[in-house]
Amino acid sequence: MIRSCEVLILILALTFDSHVQTGEIYRGHEAVPHSRPYMVLLASHKEDGGKSICGGFILNEDFVMTAAHCQAKNQTVLLGFHNTRNRKIKIHVEKAFPHKDFNATYYGNDLMLLKLSSKIKFSKDVGSIALPGQDDGSLPKSCSVSGWGQPDRTSTKKFSEMLMEANVTLIGMKNCPQRKSYCSEGETGPGEFDAGGPLVCEDRKAYGVVTFSMNKKSGRHIYSYAKITDYKRWIDRIIKNHGKL
């Protein structure tokens, strides 16, 4: 992404009838600086000794949400920046709570809460994002994704130095490869390195967690997001039981 970045990157990929990737905003544009103060980067040391990076978002002063496949040891949350070359606030992760039914092969139930070692201090550049209430069965509208991934599939750069964003349109859930998921389709959407970031919709709430993108043999690009309303009880229980140091 950048020479001055403190973290090394491991590209996460796997294949099963299609090419699956985790994380990058494709065909997006630069976000207005600090217009998404809830966005974070998660730098991790993996169990095999490698390094990885994911997106994430702030729920409150104690918790960040990301994807379960981003689980690793010695994780650090970087927040409060737009340009990756600028100074970042760093907070270590005290404990990770991946969903107990996470399937690492098919990325099912792919979401995770991270309890931080110290409280986040909110400011004009650092803030939380709300979650939706009860699901009424309709698809959210006016949705977008964001992250520091490369802006184009043909780019030689693995990352953008600036926070990127892109609008996405959700498709019917019957066309999603995962249960309890939203999906979008097309050239525009997340890919590598933005997994764990939020799907933000009409009322500026986080409706989903970026899990993976799939380039099917037909050439169609499908993007999957864990549907937060289906996990609301689990989220509330974790925060209630572990939200205090």
d(CA 41, CA 196): 9
**What are the two backbone dihedrals, phi and then psi, of residue 203, each rounded to the nearest 5 degrees?**
-100, 20
Q: What would the CATH number be for the domain defined by 37-128+230-242?
A: 2.40.10.10
Given a contact cutoff of 8 angstroms between Cβ atoms, the answer to whether 171 and 184 are in contact is yes
Taking Cα atoms as reference points, which of 38, 36, 106 lies closest to residue 68? 106
Averaged pLDDT, 211-222: 74
Q: What residues contact 129, with CB distance under 8 A and at least 6 apart?
A: 38, 57, 58, 59, 198, 200, 204, 205, 206
- Dihedral of CA 236/200/126/194: which sign? positive
What's the mean per-residue pLDDT of the chain? 83
For the chain, the domains span: 37-128+230-242, 143-229
C-alpha torsion sign, points 170, 158, 93, 165? negative
Q: What is the mean pLDDT of the segment spanning 207-224? A: 81
pLDDT for 12-43, tens place per residue? 222 223 334 444 466 678 999 999 999 999 98
155 pLDDT band, cuts 50/70/90, is: low
The percent of residues above 90 in pLDDT, for the chain, comes to 57
Pick left, alpha or beta for residue 34 (phi over 0 → left; psi -120 to 50 → alpha; otherwise beta): left
- Both structure tokens of 1: 């992404």
Domain boundaries 143-229, corresponding CATH code? 2.40.10.10
3-state SS, 222-238, equals EEEEEEHHHHHHHHHHH
Q: What is the DSSP letter of 132?
A: -
Given this model, what pLDDT does residue 218 score?
61
Q: What is the pLDDT of residue 177?
A: 81
Same fold, 37-128+230-242 and 143-229: yes
| CA atoms of 208 and 193, how far apart (whole Å) | 16
* Token reading at 31: 């976000």
For the stretch 57-99, pLDDT in tens is 999 999 999 999 999 888 999 999 999 999 899 999 999 999 9
Question: Phi/psi of residue 238, each to 5°?
Answer: -65, -45
Residue among 143, 148, 157, 165 at smallest CA distance from 85: 148
Provide the token pair at 53.
């990076």
Q: For residue 66, give the amino acid letter.
A: T
Q: What is the pTM of this model?
A: 0.85
pLDDT of 100-146, one tens digit each? 999 988 899 999 999 999 999 999 999 999 999 888 788 999 999 99
Which two tokens mark 118? 């110290």
Are 80 and 124 in contact, with CB atoms under 8 Å apart?
A: no
Q: Contact 113/40 with Cβ under 8 angstroms? A: no
pLDDT exceeds cutoff 70 at 49? no
Residues contacting 86, CB < 8 A, separation 6+: none
